[in-house]
Structure 1
Amino acid sequence: MPTVARVALDSPLPQLDRVFEYAIPEPLRERVVPGIRVKVPLRVGGRIISAWVVGVADKAEYAGRLAEVDSVVSEARVLTPELIRLARGIADRQAGAFADVVRLAIPARSARLEGRWLEDADGERAARAQRPEPIAAPATTDASSPSWAAELLANDGAQAPARITLRVPVGLAPGSSEPRHLGALADLVTESVASGRSAILLVPDFRDLALAVAALERRLPASRIRRFDSRLKPMPRYDEFLRALEPVPQVIIGTRNAVWAPAHELGLIAMWDDGDESYREPHTPYPHTREVALMRAQQQDAALVLAAHAPSLESRRLVATGWMQEMQVPGAARPKVIPADATLSDDPLARSARIPQAAWRAAREALTHGPVLVQVGRAGYRPALACANCRTPARCQRCHGPLGQPSAQRPPACTVCGAVHANWHCAECSGTALRASAIGHERTGEELGRAFPGVPVIVADGGRELIEIGDAPALIVATRGAEPVAAGGYFAVLLLDAENALARESLDTVGDSLRAWSNAAALVADGAPVIITGAPSAPLHALRDWQQAGLADLELAERRALDFPPAMRVATVRGSEAEVEAALHRLDELQLPELHVLGPVPDPDEPGRIRATLRFSYRAGEAIATALKTELVAQATSSRRRVANRAVAHASTLRVHFDASDVF
């Protein structure tokens, strides 16, 4: 019987991010097993701290006397060997702490629920494992036969699991609210479960989650579906986690954190729209969901599918390296996209109109049959204002922030400090009249309501949980990403404000805009038009020809020439001048020719701190992460410094962020 427990302390301190050995006292030797929570004494301060058992042994590696495990918190083995390995790998990749990664992976514990689950080991839980609900014959979608899913997962009989970037069909299944792309992914995960291996299906937000769950429920019994929804209350979330631990092939579907879910004999990880910003983890150590999926698929020999209408640059890089291959669902079609500029005359007034005549005509004709979607680039009423006389952007007289108008009944106000400017005047020409330099979705809905009297106008944005609508005629004005699904599809889709979207100052402007347009265009009914406004440009042409992958390849080549991500990895190092200089000195000792340091410069987010930006190749990532983690430990453990000839305690301010999205 093992007498030594190897534990990982539940602490974010970098100096404690290693495996510690503790003796298992006689009364606990049958209860202490890998994957459970325990309490152990910490030598510093004599505190008792929570920890995870990551292994047990008959003999200690440490030659001295071991402290003993204090108590067992729970006998539920919630930290599986696969999660231990994955959490350690992600922590090392991101120069983070194992404990921080485990907090992302395992939801908050409910002791009462966990107790009931443990007591049920020989009851319903055992019955579910021995006699899982059978799966009916795979449903046939209108796009293709489900046999394509079996062929994709078989990977042409190759020994290695499939690594696929998948082009999916557009539109909706006739007479239903099931988007064809989600139906195709539901076919894939159903095939995996039917073959005896679990699957994880990742989606960006609650809208996709609700639609995907509905698609799965048409194919699988409810007992085979585990829903990992960040909006669930703590107890239901933990219940789903415990059910996912059971040895039954099932589908785990959810948003960002579902990638960590335990899964019995994982056979597939499928990810919808991996370029969506919702997959960026805001908590340390900031792992992107796609990178976690890549590592987990490798570690567990599972198939990996990245599906999108507009593939991300990261997925195109993996295709270019040969690590992934492209495939298309049989029968996939493209929508009929019409750039509004192609229908305009030489009349300058017609060309300057926000909604061209071609779009008006298409909307009017489509409304005789069913709903019309209007995608707007900005939220709000009039989010940006300018002088009506000289077109100078209107600025706040207090903080110089931009002015906007939140509604028709409220006066202009600063979008930064909130100061009201009822008596605004232009600093350039002394004009007092304001015009909108950008129009939000609420003002657009108001204008369309006047233009189409008698037609219902429905506003959809991030604050409204509107997921589906019927097939009755209506105008749906939606911000990007908030478009509801119409039964059978929209009879026309209008994409407004394309030029303003492309004018945004961000490295990912083109990719984000093209993805948003593509996802909205994919909701159109078969044969219905999609009209996009704006001057001709490469993104508009890519949408028109439905060649988003080609444009992504061109942009990736440009970034490779400029050493921008994702052609290269990036990291930021923040802290005091001495701390950042010490970290850079440690990196200099590596003598890596593929490492380029930008800065250091004053940190724009933290006054009194400095920031250095690192650019490096993917193969150098492990060495750089190890060096920076070593420096984090060194700074954290040098707890005293000299100030005015006396020693004072201080906390390290050194911070490392790998793959930050806002550097360039």
Structure 2
Amino acid sequence: MTADVAVVVVASPLPQLDREFEYRIPEHLKGQVGPGMRVRVPVRSARRTLDGFVLRVTDRPQFEGTLSELDALLSPAPVLTPAVARLARAVADRQAGTTADVLRLAIPTRRARVESEWLAARGDGAFPAARQPSRGAAAVDDRASVEAAVGPEAAGALTGEPGARVAVRAPVGVGPDAVPNALGMLADIAAAHVRAGRGAIMIVPDFRDVELGRRALLSRLDAPLVRRADAAAKPTDRYRDYLACLDGPVAIIGTRSAVYAPVARLGVVLVWDDADESYVEPLTPYPHTREVALERQRQEGCTLVLASHAPSLEAQRLVELGWLTSASAVRRPPRVVPSDAVVGDERLAQHARIPSIAWRTATDALRDGPVLVQVARAGYVPRLACGACREAARCRTCGGPLRLAARSSVPRCTVCGAAEPTWHCGACGGATLRAMSVGVGRTAEELGRAFPGVPVIVADGETRRVEVGDSPALVVATRGAEPAARGGYRAVLLLDGERLLAREALDAGADTLRWWSNAAALARDGATVLLVGADEGPGRALRDWRQADAARDELAARRALAFPPAVRVGALRGTRAEVKAALDVLDGVEQLRVDGPAPDLDANGEPVADDAVVATLRFAYAAGGEVARRLKAELVRGATARRAARGGRSAPRASTLRVHLDEPGRF
């Protein structure tokens, strides 16, 4: 019997529509509609339509009444695979969100021309034969490289039959092609799986890692087997690479959206530096890339690798639970030398406001090649104060802090952008300004005076610099924006350590250790890594290259205080009545702690709205499913209550309740 019913998930963020709908396939589309295809369907008595994806077709509908017909088949391309559909459903359930919101993150915008070309290449609609990469010496080299890094037992788990779950301490150093050895190791693992006829997903934080990781993959696999998935790619290229994943096993590299790639016969998911803040999804339902990767491994049974120089607390927790095994590829850690932050007597060192040992270390290293200088802040002078009373300088329009973009520029507000050419202090009336902190631009300017004749290269969030050469140069970079140097840096100076550790954030210590570790790993073998100040705590862990021990100790402290990731956290936002109603539905959930409600404040400390409040939830991982289910039901109730109230004399107010589970920065 021909299937004449399509089961569809509609592309709507409305929580009440987050379920499966059945539609009758019209006669002229029978035999053409299949799973994964884009369709348009009627909703609410066919008065309007929505786009959606076909989950499956059947001849036995669950609904016993009369079904509405599909409105249109938008595309015959099966872009939603069953595996990705199951993953999206599970992620939505975990985050109290909707499947449609997850699919919006997972599937790129359609490009009709690219799709037509892909469909034409498929001929009669059958998938082409899976591309089988060549085997032999190259495959042996991939496995041998992994074995040399982590040993034969771990290498067998990482490159053999899927199913292993491993947290890997990555190797340090950089190759002559500017590819960090850490990314090279991950590329070896990915290539071994692809050569065995399995797909690989390699997820990295930003465009620098995408470029360097892609370079590593292309040196190991043929170009058609290497695909890219990140927001920086052109929409047509991104959609073309997405479709290519459906044709057979490939290695795809990209940023957080790559975790949803529909790679055929998935063998391994590799996540590089899973604690990086770029993995925090800013769009609802806010899933973290690591958690999506964990769920995908659970569903598909692939190998999962979390690799880093400084293990995340979340990975450490899973290691201690026995869910992840640990392996180390560190053979010779960098030589880290702590130093005090006292500026010495050398005239040129005083120009740069750096310690004498830092100036001498950089001077010696610059005879042979580039030197990396890591600083805390971007910009030129990111914060200003009154030169007389040292009160923070603030915008007279909105109250935001003022900054300088360059030496000769006019002070501007960091919030609204208003210029303040005639600023006067509101506390003492003074008209002079002084720097409260120094950014990468000012530091580069001062280092240029301290090292005359040496090129100074600035790398920050606005500079898309992936690599530098091996000639002498000072590379001044903000944390996380360090380009790789061919063969590695001849010295690395880690400045502003005390400033990084003094941030008012729960993760200040763990983040700072990770930033230091990633920069230190870019040094050439035997080069000096100089840590200026902050030689206790995280500084000691960096010196001894014992980041895993620091993560273990920090996690133990978090357990004692019931702080994440020892527990999960969430935030409820809305009016006081809405938040109270949401908290009421959580009554009876075991191991749940509620802090608040308290006024919901914006970045400037001002109330978001008169009646806006926020409540913070802390709950055990075992209770996460129940918390998400109850909160999702409350979101549906709030949305449908507004619709039901429309028969009244006044227009109902839309619900403002928002649920954000695993929100970063709640503590």
Q: Could you say whether these structures have the same fold, taking a TM-score greater than 0.5 normalized by the shorter chain as the test?
A: yes
Q: How does 1:211-222 map to 2 (within 5 A)?
A: 211-222=212-223
Shift of 1:233: 1.8
In structure 2, the partner of 1:531 is 530
Q: 1:10 to 1:411 in 2, by over 3 A?
A: closer
Residues in 2 aligned to 1:389 and 1:33: alpha-carbon distance in whole angstroms: 73
For normalisation by structure 2, the TM-score amounts to: 0.92
Partner of 1:88, secondary structure, is helix
In the alignment, does 2:521 pair up with 1:522?
yes
Which position in structure 2 is the counterpart of 1:356?
355
Instruction: Using the TM superposition, name which of 227-236 and 202-211 deviates more.
Output: 227-236
Deviation at 1:341, TM superposition (A): 2.1
Stretch moving more, 411-420 or 498-507: 411-420
CA distance in 1, matches of 2:434, 2:633: 56
Is 1:600 the counterpart of 2:623? The answer is: no
Match of 2:497 in 1: 498
**In the alignment, what sits opposite 2:274?**
274
| CA-to-aligned-CA distance 1:396-453 (integer Å, 9 cap, x gap) | 4555433322211124344334454555555666655443221111111111111111
Alpha carbons 2:459, 2:478 under 8 Å: kept? yes
Query: Does the alignment pair 1:119 with 2:116?
Result: no
Name the SS of the counterpart of 1:122 in structure 2.
Answer: coil
Instruction: Measure, in 2, the Cα distance between the counterparts of 1:357 and 1:141.
Output: 46
Q: How far apart, CA to CA, are the structure 2 residues paired with 1:160 and 1:476? A: 41
Give the letter aligned to residue 367 of structure 1. L
Distance (Å, rounded) in 2 between the aligned partners of 1:244 and 1:2: 27
Q: Once the 2 structures are TM-superposed, how far is the Cα of residue 394 of structure 1 from its aligned partner?
A: 3.6
C-alpha separation between the residues in 1 aligned to 2:155 and 2:43? 48
The CA deviation string for residues 361-412 of structure 1, in whole angstroms up to 9 with x for no partner, is 0000011111111111111111123345554444445554333222111243
Q: Do the aligned residues in 1 keep the contact of 2:373 with 2:474 (CA within 8 Å)?
A: yes
Q: Which residue of 1 aligns with 2:254?
A: 254
Pair 1:640–1:58, CA change in 2 (3 A)? closer
SS state of the match for residue 661, structure 1? coil
Q: 1:96 & 1:152 partners in 2: Cα distance? A: 37
- Following superposition, the deviation at residue 135 of structure 1 comes to 7.0
* Structure 2 match to 1:654: 657
Aligned-residue offset at 1:651: 2.1
- The one-letter amino acid of 1:636's match is A
For 2:589 and 2:17, locate their aligned partners in 1 and report how far apart those are by CA, in whole Å. 28
1:161-220 CA distance string (max 9 Å, x none): 1111101111112x3312111111111111111222111000000000100011111111
CA separation in 2, counterparts of 1:352 and 1:592? Answer: 60
How far 1:32 moved relative to its partner? Answer: 1.8
Aligned counterpart, 2:571: 572
TM-score (norm 1): 0.93
Aligned to 1:171: 173
Asked whether the 8 Å contact 1:641–1:647 carries over to 2, the reply is no
Cα deviation for residue 467 of structure 1 reads 0.8
Of stretches 55-64 and 299-308 in structure 1, the one that deviates more from structure 2 is 55-64
Match of 2:334 in 1: 335
1:575-590 correspondence runs (5 A): 575-588=574-587
Partner Cα separation in structure 2 for residue 382 and residue 147 of structure 1: 43
Q: CA deviation at 1:647?
A: 4.0
Query: Cα gap change, 1:428/1:235 in structure 2, threshold over 3 Å: closer, same or farther?
Result: closer
**CA distance in structure 1 between the aligned counterparts of 2:42 and 2:31, rounded to whole angstroms:** 20
Q: Find the counterpart in structure 1 of residue 400 from structure 2.
A: 401
Within 5 Å, give how 1:233-252 maps onto structure 2.
233-246=234-247, 248-252=248-252
Unaligned segments of structure 2, at least 5 residues? 603-607
> After the TM superposition, which of the residue ranges 334-343 and 107-116 deviates more from structure 2?
334-343
Instruction: Map residues 120-269 of structure 1 onto 2, 5 A cutoff.
Output: 120-122=121-123, 129=130, 132=133, 137-138=138-139, 139=141, 145=147, 151-152=153-154, 154-155=156-157, 161-173=163-175, 175-246=176-247, 248-269=248-269
Q: 2:445 is paired with a residue of what secondary structure?
A: helix
Residue identity over aligned pairs, in percent, reads: 53
Whether the 8 Å contact between 1:7 and 1:19 is mirrored in structure 2 is yes
Residue pairs, 1:354-503, within 5 angstroms:
354-388=353-387, 391-396=390-395, 399-422=398-421, 424=423, 432-503=431-502
Q: Cα offset for 1:129?
A: 2.7
Residue of structure 1 equivalent to 2:50: 49
Distance in 2, matches of 1:410 and 1:35, equals 54
CA contact (8 A) 2:351 2:449 kept: no
Q: Compared with structure 1, are the counterparts of its residues 351 and 470 closer, same or farther at alpha carbon in structure 2 (3 Å cutoff)?
A: closer
Q: CA RMSD in A?
A: 2.8
Q: Which amino acid aligns with 2:308?
A: A
Q: Equivalents in 2 of 1:108, 1:305: separation in Å? A: 29
Per-residue CA distance 1:497-520 (angstroms, 9 max, x = gap): 111111111122112211111111
Deviation at 1:160, TM superposition (A): 7.7
Question: Secondary structure in 2 aligned to 1:137?
Answer: helix
Q: Which moved more, 1:68-77 or 1:338-347?
A: 338-347
Rounded Cα–Cα distance in structure 2 between residues aligned with 1:392 and 1:14: 48
Q: Tell me which amino acid in the other structure corresponds to 2:168.
A: L
Q: For residues 9 and 357 of structure 1, what CA distance do their matches in structure 2 show?
A: 64
1:156 Cα offset (Å): 9.7
Structure 1 residue 46 displacement after superposition: 1.7
CA distance in 2, matches of 1:444, 1:437: 14
Q: Is 2:645–2:652's contact at 8 Å kept on the other side of the alignment?
A: no
Give the conservation status (yes or no) of the 8 Å contact 2:352–2:446. no
Is residue 562 of structure 1 aligned with residue 561 of structure 2?
yes
> Where in structure 2 are the equivalents of 1:3-82 lying within 5 Å?
3-44=4-45, 46-82=47-83
Q: SS at the partner of 1:528?
A: strand
- How many residue pairs end up in the alignment? 657
